[in-house]
Amino acid sequence: MSFSYRWVIVAAGALMSCVAIGTMFSLAIFLEPMAIDTNWSRAGISSAMTLNFLVMGLGGFAWGAISDRFGARIVVMTGAVLLGLALVLAS
């Protein structure tokens, strides 16, 4: 059985997707502790998350156009770097 580098790329993409989706949908678990620690209301935190989802939905059009113009590799790598920076800044 020969080892194909393509499967490494697939695995890396799956891992990035799991991290991205996991951080977004973990709000239900962390909502109450975040509200207590920051003294923000649950509605305020939930509104920020709603805004996040709306921006992601609209941003998908922009990322799609950029992907068509420059290629998927550039877009995915840029998105991965931006996600990493955002997670570092958010922690």
pTM: 0.58
Q: What is the mean pLDDT of each run of 10 residues along the chain (91 residues)?
A: 79 89 85 92 91 90 92 90 90 80
DSSP secondary structure string for all residues of 8-70: HHHHHHHHHHHHHHHHHHTHHHHHHHHHHHHT--HHHHHHHHHHHHHHHHHHHHHHHHHHHHH
User: Cβ contacts of residue 32 below 8 Å, gap of 6+?
Assistant: 42
Which pLDDT score, from 0 to 100, does residue 39 have?
93
Q: Which residue has the tokens 């305020």?
A: 44
Task: Give me the domain span that covers residue 10.
Answer: 5-90
Please check whether residue 64 is in contact with residue 52, taking contact to mean a CB–CB distance below 8 angstroms: no
- How many domains are there within the chain? 1
